[in-house]
Chain A
Amino acid sequence: MQQPQKKTTATHTLETVRKVRGIVKSNYAQALEAKEQGRPVAYCMVGCGYDEILRAMDITPVWTENYAGLCAAKQDAERFLSEAEAEGYSIDICGYARTGIGFDTLRHELGEIPPGAPDGGMAEPDMLLGCSHRCDPRFKWYQVLGRYNEAPIYAHDVVAPPVDADLKEVTGYYIKYQAEQFRGLIDFLERQVGKKLDYDRLCQIISISRETIRIWQECYLLRRASPCPMPSEDHFSAMVPAYFKLGTEEALNFYTELYAEVKQRADNKIGVVPEEKYRLLWSGGLPPWHSLWIFNYFESKGAVFCMDTTYRPYEPMEVPVKLEDDPISYLAWRSFLHRVRFHERAKAGPRNISVQEILDLVNDYNIDGMVMHATRTCRANTMGQKFLADAVQEYVKIPALILVSDIVDVRDYSEAEWKASVETFIEMVDVHKKSRKG
């Protein structure tokens, strides 16, 4: 009989990645310090493209989704989930949102940060910067917080055209709208902090983030090597500086160091496991923060996750405006181009950008199987996984596994079922790989 997993986190391969835990801790500590010193603190959502604007205005961000993930990894989310449920929030609502709402409910009740909260807890926000990118709860969550905190809210709208849109027809007004959204945000922030945005400083910060993204992307291209020098469990830590520290020298230095380490491993054919038998793609869904050990379990079977579609970096792109001339348009273009980067090829092929992305990665990274994570309360990242797994097969036959649990709530997860499904999946991958060779 297999023993239940005691260690819930993953064992990392890369030395550089071990520094991430310290970066996460310092994020929350810096926000608490800022609050204590009277400097502005904002609750924020990842992937909205406003990171550099906050940095340029000396606003300290608190990434609330990241905090929920941290609580899950620390197995300390349940008290916050229960608190939110007691307030009337359905158990089907996004686990991140419920964790955050529960945290703020408890803070409100206690009049202080809940004792023993992971990494000292989230600093009380002076403003709430919601965002419509990716899912609905990302702007509804902060609306809910009005129950506990009168902090002003800005909801930043992010739009992406459907794959069948004629980009020549729509690009102009999409860019204009995205730029207006950024201008609206800047106007809001200027009113909150009582000072004007320094556009020269913004350009300097964007230059740093541009270089950071370039190196990050270069680093990940090295993962095409066989054996793969960097696995997905390391990616899910390595993405932290880019997603939560973008525009800082700290993030730039991190990826410079990461690149050097991954390059050294690729050059010397140092893999993740002694014998890399199967190359896998993390092809959808948020990572199981509560059970990251599963990656090591795959590795025990010789299977390494060589690439991932979740928390992928912004790819370096040719933005048709000069940063120094118009940084806001630059940000609007960056946001837009990131979201349409698969459109033209997808239009000629599967008519779906996620299918196109998977097809590209399966080819570029020589993938043998794909794995997704269906989470009950993160519907935005779960809806369509069955479709993806099915639609990809029309272009390339490849085994697919969907693990089921939740992003935070461990009540939705069975370790025994996961291990059994991994065993079966690896057998399928093995048969598939042999048949390809045969």
Chain B
Amino acid sequence: MLGYFCCSVPIEFMTVLSLVPYRIMGSVTQAITQADTYLETIMCPFVRSSFDLSLKGEYDFLDGLVVPHTCDAIHRIYDIWVHYRKPAYTHFINVPHVVQPSSFEFFQNELSVFKKSLERFAQREISDQNLCQAIRLHNENRGLLRELYELRKDEPPLISGTEIMKLLVAGGTIPVAEYNELVKGVIKEVKERKTVPAQKRARILIYGSQVDDAAFIRLVEESGANVVMDDICPGTRYFGHDVDVTDNPLVGLSRHYLEDIQCPRTYRAKLGKYQEDLDNRFGYLLDYAKEFRVNGIILYITRYCDTFELDAPDLGDYLREAGLPVLYLENDYSMTTIGQLRTRIQTFLEMLL
């Protein structure tokens, strides 16, 4: 079982070698008690929390660690984790920050090096054919999750945001084949369920990064909204697009993991004037809002996350301009301030009436 951070690690390489990709998460309910000895408190609280769990032995079951260069905090944790935790297998993937022909070629080479490194670790080779099979298996997972999300379009949604979040969290920790069976089972059950979530006053989309606990989603739903869509790392950011199955599978994988993942850490060349640039960067959220009949968006931004924080004013203005009310919440990856959050969310939802 290999631990990994973020959406930028092609987990298909692990699956093909029967290694289980385990998405590293922190804990929004546990206080950070050990990591601050080694990490600055101004570092991303999600990364600090994850490392804290590792120091407490909660990731001792992992056989290795794969870290992509997504952002500064994830980049910096690699050497520190390796130094103090000494996993049996470690690998760092450089992910270009720009989307250009040369960056695809570079990333393809990085993935090739990652593949060889895993082959050495597992002492088995990865054939293109097997890798394509793994891509299809993960695409099935992405497709199933999109199918499940379709059930959120109903009014009221057939499945709550809290239930979805629990599924996403669990899914990141089990083999993809099991995850697929789990999602299939959930789809079947939801379609047949007699009691659906109550219709609330607002249909909310949650935008953020590493939201990996149901507590916040539950808070929003308890405050009087149906959370019907997300753009978060374990959610649509991960499964929004399939990987193209190409003759050389590295081509499809490099395109997907560099271009399809809509994370502000990747710079997308400015197209035309400012407004066109915003459409290019954020237009997909308007599509989501329309498809899922969203009438309010919560930007749930983890503190000290420069890339999300720098995008937030542009994104907020863009959404408001499109007629979507926006609530900006900065959080410490902790539910200790739940009271304050509740008040702000309730006020926002009342405004939507």
Question: Which residues of chain A have a CB within 8 Å of any CB of chain B?
Answer: 87-90, 92-94, 97, 130, 132, 135-137, 139-141, 143-144, 146-147, 150, 152-153, 155, 157, 159-165, 169-170, 173-174, 176-177, 180-181, 184, 351-352, 374, 376-377, 379-380, 382-387, 390-391
Q: Which residues of A contact B94 (CB under 8 A)?
A: 159-162
Which stretch (B2-10, B78-86, B157-165, B221-229) binds chain A?
B78-86
CB atoms of A90 and B330 under 8 A apart: yes
CB atoms of B270 and A143 under 8 A apart: yes
CB atoms of A143 and B267 under 8 A apart: yes
Can you give 18 contacting A-B residue pairs, CB < 8 Å?
A: A93-B306, A130-B267, A136-B71, A146-B277, A152-B270, A153-B269, A155-B97, A160-B94, A162-B92, A173-B109, A174-B106, A176-B105, A177-B102, A184-B100, A382-B42, A383-B76, A384-B40, A384-B80
Q: Which residues of B contact A143 (CB under 8 A)?
A: 267, 270, 277, 310
Within 8 A of A (CB), among B19-55: 37-40, 42-43
Q: Which residues of B contact A160 (CB under 8 A)?
A: 94
Asked if B197 lies at the interface with its beta carbon under 8 angstroms from chain A, I say: no
Other-chain contact of A379, B42, B82, B105, B313 (Cβ < 8 Å): B42
Name which residue of chain B comes closest to A385, CB basis. Answer: B40
Given contacts A88-B316, A379-B304, A384-B80, contact A181 B102 (CB under 8 A): yes
Q: Which 4 A-B pairs have the closest CB atoms?
A: A180-B102, A88-B313, A162-B92, A177-B106
Q: Which residues of A contact B309 (CB under 8 A)?
A: 89-90, 92-93
Query: Whole-angstrom distance from the CB of B267 to the nearest CB of chain A?
Result: 4
Other-chain contact of B97, A94, A139, A152, A164 (Cβ < 8 Å): A139
User: Roughly how many angstroms separate A155 CA and B102 CA in the complex, as a whole number?
Assistant: 13
User: Roughly how many angstroms separate A153 CA and B97 CA in the complex, as a whole number?
Assistant: 14
Query: Whole-angstrom distance from the CB of A231 to the nearest CB of chain B?
Result: 26
CB atoms of B316 and A387 under 8 A apart: no
Q: Which residues of A contact B92 (CB under 8 A)?
A: 162, 164-165
CB atoms of B39 and A137 under 8 A apart: no
Q: Which residues of A contact B316 (CB under 8 A)?
A: 88
Asked if B184 lies at the interface with its beta carbon under 8 angstroms from chain A, I say: no
Other-chain contact of B274, A146, A163, A351 (Cβ < 8 Å): A146
Mask of B70-108 contacts with A, CB within 8 angstroms, 1/0: 011100101110110000001010101110101101100
Asked if B214 lies at the interface with its beta carbon under 8 angstroms from chain A, I say: no
Given contacts A139-B97, A146-B270, contact A92 B303 (CB under 8 A): yes
Asked if B203 lies at the interface with its beta carbon under 8 angstroms from chain A, I say: no
Query: Whole-angstrom distance from the CB of B271 to the nearest CB of chain A?
Result: 11
Given contacts A88-B328, A130-B267, contact A391 B83 (CB under 8 A): yes
Name which residue of chain A comes closest to B92, CB basis. Answer: A162
Name which residue of chain B comes closest to A133, CB basis. Answer: B97
User: Roughly how many angstroms separate A174 CA and B186 CA in the complex, as a whole number?
Assistant: 45
CB atoms of B265 and A387 under 8 A apart: no
CB atoms of A387 and B310 under 8 A apart: no
Q: Which residues of A contact B73 (CB under 8 A)?
A: 379, 383
CB atoms of A162 and B78 under 8 A apart: yes
CB atoms of B310 and A141 under 8 A apart: yes
CB atoms of A157 and B103 under 8 A apart: yes
Name which residue of chain A comes closest to B98, CB basis. Answer: A157
Q: A136-B71, A170-B109, A173-B109 are in contact. List 19 more A-B contacts (CB 8 A).
A: A88-B313, A90-B303, A90-B312, A93-B306, A144-B313, A147-B313, A147-B314, A150-B274, A155-B97, A155-B98, A157-B103, A174-B106, A176-B102, A351-B79, A351-B82, A377-B42, A379-B40, A383-B40, A386-B39
Given contacts A173-B106, A180-B102, A387-B79, contact A144 B314 (CB under 8 A): yes
Given contacts A140-B310, A379-B72, A382-B42, contact A170 B113 (CB under 8 A): yes
Other-chain contact of A169, B96, B113, B278 (Cβ < 8 Å): B113
Asked if B307 lies at the interface with its beta carbon under 8 angstroms from chain A, I say: yes
Query: Whole-angstrom distance from the CB of A61 to the nearest CB of chain B?
Result: 20
Name which residue of chain A comes closest to B277, CB basis. Answer: A146
User: Roughly how many angstroms separate A94 CA and B42 CA in the complex, as a whole number?
Assistant: 12
Q: Which residues of B contact A352 (CB under 8 A)?
A: 79, 83
User: Roughly how many angstroms separate A404 CA and B96 CA in the complex, as a whole number?
Assistant: 32
User: Roughly how many angstroms separate A139 CA and B96 CA in the complex, as a whole number?
Assistant: 12
User: Roughly how many angstroms separate A98 CA and B92 CA in the complex, as a whole number?
Assistant: 31
User: Roughly how many angstroms separate A382 CA and B43 CA in the complex, as a whole number?
Assistant: 8
Given contacts A132-B97, A170-B113, A379-B43, contact A94 B328 (CB under 8 A): no
Within 8 A of A (CB), among B308-330: 309-314, 316, 328, 330
CB atoms of A89 and B313 under 8 A apart: yes
Asked if B273 lies at the interface with its beta carbon under 8 angstroms from chain A, I say: yes
Asked if B171 lies at the interface with its beta carbon under 8 angstroms from chain A, I say: no
Given contacts A379-B42, A386-B37, contact A140 B307 (CB under 8 A): yes
Other-chain contact of B39, A173, A376, A383 (Cβ < 8 Å): A383
User: Roughly how many angstroms separate A384 CA and B48 CA in the complex, as a whole number?
Assistant: 12
Query: Whole-angstrom distance from the CB of A412 to the nearest CB of chain B?
Result: 10
Name which residue of chain B comes closest to A352, CB basis. Answer: B79
User: Roughly how many angstroms separate A406 CA and B48 CA in the complex, as a whole number?
Assistant: 20
User: Roughly how many angstroms separate A7 CA and B111 CA in the complex, as a whole number?
Assistant: 53
Given contacts A136-B306, A385-B40, contact A184 B270 (CB under 8 A): no
Q: Which residues of B contact A184 (CB under 8 A)?
A: 100, 102
